[in-house]
Amino acid sequence: MDHWPTGRLLSTAARLVEHSWNEKLGAIGLTHAGVIAIEVLAAQGPMTQAQLAQYVRVQAQTMGKTLSRLETHGHIARVRSTSDRRSHVVSLTERGKEAVAEAVEMERSVLASSSIDPELLRQELKSVVRELASQFATTPGNAAALVDNPSS
């Protein structure tokens, strides 16, 4: 690893952290994608499946799969919209609210046993994202747009 470029170190670390976090999340019926969806619902409130997909910048079809899993585990509820019968409004259940809190704790526990300061790492990573994102125009789907997305 002493000779690895920074990008390789960063991507390897990210994959390992996500893998470790996903192992923990599986115990409560969540995945990384599911956590993003329920965090957005917790912060923004109920919204349509299409709005949620747009908010987290994924295809509606991809969001549908994520929501099906969340619904199976009782984390969200989907009801047909009263204003547009073609769409469903997604809301967080009590179990989903509890899962958001558990997921935050699980994320903290991933790095808790390491010798680094997780908060310092977080601040440094935020700086990297902001600085690199500023190099891109603010068009949908790019890094700069992700910085403005609270679920990121």
CATH number of 6-112: 1.10.10.10
Partnered with residue 88 across adjacent β-strands are: 80
Which pLDDT tens digit goes with each residue over 59-117?
A: 988 999 999 999 999 999 999 888 887 888 999 999 999 999 999 888 888 888 788 88
| Residue 138: pLDDT band with limits 50, 70, 90 | low
Nearest to 64 by CA among 54, 80, 53, 74: 53
DSSP annotation of 115: S
Rounded to whole angstroms, the Cα distance separating 92 from 90 reads 7
What is the number of other CB atoms lying within 10 angstroms of the CB of residue 25? Answer: 20
Confidence (pLDDT) at 87:
83
Higher pLDDT: 135 or 25? It is: 25
Residue-range domain boundaries for the chain: 6-112, 115-152
